[in-house]
């Protein structure tokens, strides 16, 4: 089993919010499992007086959230703290999803939304289910 990162994972920024599109692939038994940050992000950052500091509209899995917010939010811990304090508000948000290309080069959208928030946990989540998914796809085909 081989895991390949297709984007650089920034130090202390492993949450899906920072990324867009394919971030990692896992290759196993001729199958490719693509872990992607999917969904549009609309987010507003507020100061202590509830005044808007920054706004981002990250569409088409572009991964622009980081480009807009890097001056204000330094890492995952700060992002989660801002969320808890309702200083960072998401109107839309993204998530990790896994797509599969089988050993015959057929693409499968299994609608496999991952429960993990960070990429490392998402990879572990896919690895835990990888044998069952391969078995499912072999039976399906």
Confidence at residue 46, expressed as pLDDT on a 0 to 100 scale = 98
Helical ranges in the chain per DSSP H? 65-69, 76-84, 119-140
Q: How many structural domains compose the chain?
A: 1
Confidence at residue 139, expressed as pLDDT on a 0 to 100 scale = 86
Range of the domain at 129: 2-140
pLDDT tens, per residue, the chain with 141 residues: 999 999 999 999 999 999 999 999 999 999 999 999 999 999 999 999 999 999 999 999 999 999 999 999 999 999 999 999 999 999 999 999 999 999 999 999 999 999 999 999 999 999 999 999 999 999 877
The answer to whether the CB of 45 falls within 8 A of the CB of 87 is: yes
Q: Cα 24 to the chain's mean position, in Å? A: 10
Confidence at residue 141, expressed as pLDDT on a 0 to 100 scale = 72
What gap in Å lies between CA 57 and CA 44, rounded to an integer? 9
């Amino acid at each position: 089993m081989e895991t390949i990162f297709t984007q650089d994972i920034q130090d202390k920024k492993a949450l899906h919010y920072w990324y867009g599109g394919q971030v990692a692939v896992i290759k196993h038994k001729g199958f490719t499992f693509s872990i992607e940050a999917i969904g549009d992000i609309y987010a507003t950052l507020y100061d202590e007086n509830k005044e808007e500091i920054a706004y981002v509209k990250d569409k088409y899995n572009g991964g622009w959230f980081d480009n807009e917010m890097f001056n204000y939010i330094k890492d995952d811990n700060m992002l989660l703290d801002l969320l808890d304090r309702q200083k960072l508000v998401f109107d839309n948000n993204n998530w990790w999803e896994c797509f599969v290309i089988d050993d015959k080069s057929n693409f499968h959208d299994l609608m496999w939304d991952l429960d993990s928030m960070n990429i490392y946990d998402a990879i572990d989540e896919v690895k835990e289910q990888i044998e069952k998914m391969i078995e499912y796809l072999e039976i399906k085909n």
